[in-house]
Structure 1
Amino acid sequence: MQARLIVALCLLSSAPAWGAEPSGCDKFKWPVDKERAALTSQDRPNTASGLELAIPAKAVLELKTPADAKLPRPPERKPKDGTFAGFLKFKGPPKAGAYTISLSSNGWIDVIQDGEQLKPMDHSGVTDCAGIRKVVKFDLSGGPFAVQISGATENSISLAVLPAD
């Protein structure tokens, strides 16, 4: 009986760590050096929500309240009160294939192509890595698409769209 109690207490004491994301730049699932460099480069333009960019892209996206952001589609995850949202349009990637979309801080990424929200191929996120918070891989066709960000805690966010290795 006492052994069961000890096991239960050990499991309960570690419960908060179960859902915690890894900490540190070396904890991403794959190398993110090029994404981190794009998100922290000095030549990132400040970009208003709704503008069109070419790939590869890096920008500081100016965000708005969700009600003012006029996203192309409702986000897959409902944004919390007090957060910000915005989007960018792209004519299409140079060629179909895997691309990464990276953010400098917390935010939800939706990609809309051909009127549909794309499901990510993979994702990786860590805390405590200066300049980068999350990277999500998507399989893009050659056509136009939009990247929408929601649930951001600040009114701007660095974003990069790059070919995946």
Structure 2
Amino acid sequence: MYRSIIMIVLIAASAGAPAAEEMSTTKPACITNVAPSGELAPWVNPVPAKAGSEAANAPLLSVGKATSVTLLPTPDVHYALRPEKPGGSVSYGGLLALDVAQAGTYRIALNSAAWIDIVGKDGALRSVAHGHGPDCTGIRKMVDYVVPAGRYTLQISANGAAQITVLAVPMK
């Protein structure tokens, strides 16, 4: 009888445990930050900037330089195009100018899950890839766009905090 009770307890306890395969895919918690390498290396030295409330006063986001951007309350931002995910009255957003000298694929890296749009004279560009940053680097989200040469507005919306780090880099 005791053996049956022990077996029932063991079966019940193991029912909620993850399978061995699940345990091996769980990412370890980061103890310290790791500096990203390659094109993402500038991430560790962001320069400060304040987001613009409209395209005309949007500060320039330099390609290849990380920027720590102070955002505005969403109701204060006048987006060129309504973002697909605009955020609510308690979220933050803002605008940055982006000059692309050479056409190509560009990656926008963020330290949050904010929504981003790249808007040009012909409307919003479509993203071609999405992903997460390298583990433990502080890069949470990366979005790739094929961008023709020209001036663009980078719209940031639906951020939960007034600060965000942004990095735009060409992909090789």
TM superposition score normalised by structure 1: 0.72
Aligned residue in 2 for 1:65: 73
Q: Distance in 2 between matches of 1:24 and 1:151?
A: 28
State the number of aligned residues: 138
Q: What amino acid sits opposite 2:47 in the alignment? A: P
1:40 aligns with 2:48: no
- Offset, 1:74: 1.3
Q: Taking structure 1 as reference, are residues 154 and 128 closer, same or farther at Cα in structure 2, changes over 3 Å only?
A: farther
Q: Taking structure 1 as reference, are residues 81 and 102 closer, same or farther at Cα in structure 2, changes over 3 Å only?
A: same
Fraction of identical pairs, as percent = 24
SS in 2 for 1:149: strand
User: Which of these two proteins has the greater Rg computed from alpha carbons?
Assistant: 2
Cα shift readout 1:39-89 (whole Å, capped 9, x = no counterpart): 322xx2111112123322320111011111222221112313421101100
Which has the higher mean CA deviation after the structures are superposed, 145-154 or 80-89?
80-89
- Offset, 1:127: 9.7
1:144 aligns with 2:151: yes
- Once superposed, which parts of structure 1, at least 4 consecutive aligned residues long, lie more than 6 Å away? none
SS in 2 for 1:57: coil
CA RMSD of aligned residues (A): 2.7
Q: Distance in 2 between matches of 1:102 and 1:126?
A: 8
Q: What amino acid sits opposite 1:131 in the alignment? A: G
TM superposition score normalised by structure 2: 0.69
Q: What amino acid sits opposite 2:41 in the alignment? A: A
SS in 2 for 1:52: coil
Aligned residue in 1 for 2:10: none
Cα shift readout 1:118-161 (whole Å, capped 9, x = no counterpart): 11010102697341100100000011111111111110100000
Q: For structure 1, which runs of at least 5 residues remain unmatched after alignment? A: 1-9, 11-21, 26-31
Cα shift readout 1:102-126 (whole Å, capped 9, x = no counterpart): 0012201111012411110101026
